[in-house]
């Protein structure tokens, strides 16, 4: 519940802080005490990331709270992003680069930029992120530009203040005519970044070269204000209202950059290399901004093939933003995109999203490759490997090796947007419940309508259906096995907590002979580890890994469960769940004795009460699982389409 009085006080306090105005004399004293006030754009963004909160996910993986609940399956991308900004905050030359986000449509490029912009806006309203500008400057100029160039070395040596750049034409004109050259009297005010107001945020969408207006980028000119005096004319005539000026000290976003006309790219190159916008015979304008461009792979490859593009290519830092390759993260994307309105009135089977997510993820994987020392993996096995369910005889290191052999995975395949559109279409045709096979059928049917697919893709994508069906079989049988086990969730969580407690004790160096230490159930540790083929030589590192991940998640406010540890989940399921032969006996419709009938009723009841099924999709799941364990097919693939049997 929002405490209104507290809200009013905090908003008033923030407004008062943002309303600060003073003179350059006051500002320079503040900057001497806190040099971060004058940091450059890349350093400000890096500090903002740290301010947002660095979340240790265990296993050496980190994420920032800025991206929580917005970007899923993008840990590597976010880590690389942080490294880029860290380097740019330390090394001046690294700031003279364009950060190019390259990825397929719907992979999260725009979301990533929007999150950075939003984070920077919020950060600029805090004491840690406060920044100030010369009053009256249309491009929120750093006040330290008022310090003459020949005096700047003194400030850097004495106070560590680095000063780059010159006054813009407007501020130079005002200093001369409004302040008689007295820099101490120049008015300074605190500002906050705002995309809506064009303060520290610029954006340019490249269309066809014929429809592009350079004024939109570099600003327009008031011809009537030009005078015979060239410098005064620049101060009055240049409005400095282009997107590049608006983005000064913040973020400039270029969407579909390689569709730009050559003269636009020349301007971008000048801003990148020299940090100036050239105004022809009227001089130039210094800008300090982080340029983030977006492109897809096809347009990038075309641009690279042009030998005349070498100068700009040399200034690019490419960051791939692929689709996620983790099914569990893909499902989170769908849940984020699905609105209450879409789900209204229609129940969705709990396995509907995992099944279509399997199709989407498998469509992004490369077939036929093998990592050094490993046999060829099926696409289904590779998907499980990437999602943490490491197969027997394999390790997490193997998963990394497989991915290294296929660096282009995730740069193609079905997008989350396409999947959501097909789910919406499928749900519009259902009156009660959307079941997994119906959702998958909608996905396949949509391939015929999807524009832009090549002939090879139209042939390849339906050929992936057998792998997806195998994945659904695994999920369906496992779900029914869980429902067939009374109090499975409680038992699984109990096993998990016991394992964590004992693994922690081992990791902390405790043993059975210590009177003050709890007794370690080494038998449980070995049973669970043996279920997933952890060798004796790997036990110590596996336990440490589990312990560290659990501690990292707990320290970030989470309450880890067995489901957060795919390997332990697989081990616990293997120990607690009935095997497929036992399940087949339970589900066999020929078994009509009272105990078996009651057992089947209990399974359906638990599916509904414990796992989110309705009666309709619970019956459907039990039927599918029954046919599967009896080696019968409910569905087949014919001519690239699903056929029910």
pLDDT in tens, 182-196: 999 999 999 999 999
Whole-structure pTM value:
0.90
pLDDT in tens, 551-576: 888 887 788 999 888 888 989 999 99
| Residue 395 confidence (pLDDT) | 65
Q: What angle do CA 565, 467, 586 make, to 5 degrees?
A: 70
CB atoms inside a 10 Å sphere around CB 48? 22
Check if the beta carbon of residue 561 is closer than 8 Å to that of residue 521.
no
Angle between helix 379-386 and 465-484 (nearest 10): 50
Nearest to 162 by CA among 174, 149, 171, 181: 149
| Residue 515 confidence (pLDDT) | 47
Mean pLDDT, to the nearest integer, of 381-410? 80
14 HSE (CA, 13 A, CB side):
14
**Is 396's pLDDT higher than 70?**
no
- How many domains is the chain built from? 1
Note whether residue 132 is domain-resident: yes
Note whether residue 140 is domain-resident: yes
| Residue 401 confidence (pLDDT) | 80
Tell me if residue 521 falls in helix, strand or coil.
Answer: coil
| Residue 283 confidence (pLDDT) | 73
| Residue 120 confidence (pLDDT) | 97
Mean pLDDT, to the nearest integer, of 287-313? 90
Note whether residue 329 is domain-resident: no
**Is 620's pLDDT higher than 50?**
yes
| Residue 634 confidence (pLDDT) | 87
* Measured distance CA(295)–CA(321) in Å, rounded: 10
**Is 107's pLDDT higher than 60?**
yes
**Is 518's pLDDT higher than 60?**
no
Mean pLDDT, to the nearest integer, of 609-622? 95
Task: Tell me the Cα Rg of the chain.
Answer: 30
Nearest to 82 by CA among 111, 114, 107, 54: 54
Q: In this structure, what token pair is assigned to residue 496?
A: 């998990």
Spatial neighbors of 275 by CB under 8 A, at least 6 apart, are: 95, 96, 164, 165, 286, 287, 288
Angle between helix 465-484 and 436-449 (nearest 10): 160
pLDDT in tens, 332-387: 999 998 875 555 678 999 999 999 999 999 999 998 666 556 667 889 989 998 99
**Is 393's pLDDT higher than 70?**
no
Mean pLDDT, to the nearest integer, of 170-191? 95
**Is 510's pLDDT higher than 60?**
no
Tokens 């409005």 sit on residue: 239
- For residues 308 and 282, the model is more confident at 308
Q: In this structure, what token pair is assigned to residue 36?
A: 């971060």
Please provide residue 134's backbone torsions phi and psi, each rounded to the nearest 5 degrees: -70, 125
Note whether residue 196 is domain-resident: yes
Composition of the chain by helix, strand, coil, percent to 5: 55, 10, 30
| Residue 512 confidence (pLDDT) | 46
Nearest to 412 by CA among 111, 641, 106: 106
* Measured distance CA(402)–CA(410) in Å, rounded: 13
**Is 490's pLDDT higher than 90?**
yes
pLDDT in tens, 452-485: 788 888 889 999 999 999 999 999 999 999 999 9
| Residue 578 confidence (pLDDT) | 94
Spatial neighbors of 501 by CB under 8 A, at least 6 apart, are: 518
pLDDT in tens, 129-156: 999 999 999 999 999 999 999 999 998 9
Domain of residue 284 covers: 20-320
Provide the terminal-to-terminal Cα distance of the chain, rounded to the nearest Å. 53
**Is 80's pLDDT higher than 70?**
yes
Note whether residue 432 is domain-resident: no
Note whether residue 172 is domain-resident: yes
Transcribe 160-172 into DSSP letters: ---------HHHH
193: domain CATH number is 3.40.50.300
Average predicted confidence (pLDDT) for the chain: 88
Note whether residue 460 is domain-resident: no
* Measured distance CA(512)–CA(490) in Å, rounded: 27
| Residue 239 confidence (pLDDT) | 82
| Residue 38 confidence (pLDDT) | 94
User: How confident is residue 523, by pLDDT bands cut at 50, 70 and 90?
Assistant: confident
Note whether residue 243 is domain-resident: yes
* Measured distance CA(207)–CA(244) in Å, rounded: 17
| Residue 513 confidence (pLDDT) | 46
């Amino acid at each position: 519940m929002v405490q209104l009085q507290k809200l009013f006080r905090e908003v008033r306090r923030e407004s008062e802080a943002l309303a600060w105005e003073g003179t350059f004399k006051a500002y320079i004293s503040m900057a001497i005490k806190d040099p971060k006030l004058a940091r450059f754009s890349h350093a400000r963004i890096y500090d903002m990331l740290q301010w947002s909160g660095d979340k240790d996910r265990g296993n050496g993986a980190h994420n920032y709270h800025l991206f929580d609940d917005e970007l899923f399956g993008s840990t590597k991308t976010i880590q690389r992003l942080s490294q880029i900004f860290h380097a740019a905050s330390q090394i001046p030359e690294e700031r003279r680069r364009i950060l190019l986000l390259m990825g397929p449509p719907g992979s999260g490029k725009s979301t990533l930029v929007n999150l950075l912009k939003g984070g920077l806006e919020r950060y600029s309203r805090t004491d840690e992120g406060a920044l100030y500008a010369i009053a009256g400057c249309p491009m929120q100029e750093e006040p330290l530009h008022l310090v003459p160039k020949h005096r700047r070395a003194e400030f850097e040596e004495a106070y560590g203040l680095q000063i780059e750049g010159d006054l813009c034409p407007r501020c130079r004109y005002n200093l001369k005519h409004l302040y008689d050259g007295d820099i101490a009297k120049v008015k300074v005010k605190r500002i906050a970044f705002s995309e809506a107001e064009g303060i520290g945020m610029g954006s340019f969408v490249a269309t066809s070269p014929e429809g592009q207006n350079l004024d939109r980028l570099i600003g327009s000119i008031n011809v009537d204000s030009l005078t015979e005096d060239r410098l005064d004319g620049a101060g009055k005539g240049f409005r400095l209202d282009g997107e590049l000026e608006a983005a000064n000290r913040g973020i400039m976003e270029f969407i579909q950059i390689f569709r730009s006309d050559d003269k636009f790219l020349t301007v971008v190159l000048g801003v990148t290399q020299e940090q100036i916008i050239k105004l022809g015979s009227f001089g130039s304008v210094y800008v300090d901004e982080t340029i983030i461009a977006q492109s897809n792979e096809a347009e990038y490859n075309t641009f690279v093939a042009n030998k005349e593009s070498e100068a700009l290519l040399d200034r690019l830092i490419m960051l791939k933003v692929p689709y996620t390759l983790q099914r569990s993260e893909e499902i989170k994307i769908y849940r984020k995109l699905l609105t209450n309105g879409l789900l209204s009135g229609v129940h969705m089977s709990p396995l509907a999203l995992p099944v279509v997510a399997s199709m989407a993820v498998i469509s992004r994987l490369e077939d036929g490759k093998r990592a050094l020392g490993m046999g060829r993996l099926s696409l289904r096995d590779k998907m499980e490997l990437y999602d943490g369910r490491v197969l027997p005889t394999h390790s997490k290191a193997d998963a990394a090796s497989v991915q290294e052999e296929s660096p282009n995975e995730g740069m193609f395949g079905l997008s989350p947007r396409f999947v959501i559109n097909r789910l919406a279409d499928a749900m519009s045709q259902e009156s009660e419940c959307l079941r997994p096979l119906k959702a998958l059928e909608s996905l396949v049917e949509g391939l015929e309508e999807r524009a832009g697919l090549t002939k090879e893709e139209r042939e390849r994508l339906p050929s992936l259906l057998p792998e997806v069906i195998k994945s659904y079989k695994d999920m369906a049988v496992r779900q029914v096995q869980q429902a067939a086990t009374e109090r499975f969730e409680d038992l699984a969580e109990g096993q998990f907590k016991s394992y964590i407690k004992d693994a922690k004790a081992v990791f902390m160096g405790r043993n059975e002979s210590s009177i003050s230490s709890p007794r370690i159930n080494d038998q449980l540790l070995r049973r669970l580890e043996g279920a997933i083929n952890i060798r004796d030589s790997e036990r110590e590192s596996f336990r440490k890994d589990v312990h560290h991940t659990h501690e990292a998640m707990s320290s970030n406010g989470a309450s880890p469960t067995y489901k957060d540890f795919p390997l332990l989940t697989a081990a616990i399921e293997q120990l607690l769940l009935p095997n497929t032969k036992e399940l087949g006996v339970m589900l066999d419709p020929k078994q009509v004795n009272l105990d078996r009938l009651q057992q089947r009723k209990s399974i359906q009841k638990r599916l509904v009460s414990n796992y989110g099924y309705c009666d309709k999709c619970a019956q459907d799941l039990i039927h599918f699982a029954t046919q599967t364990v009896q080696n019968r097919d409910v569905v087949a693939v014919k001519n690239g389409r699903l056929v029910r049997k």
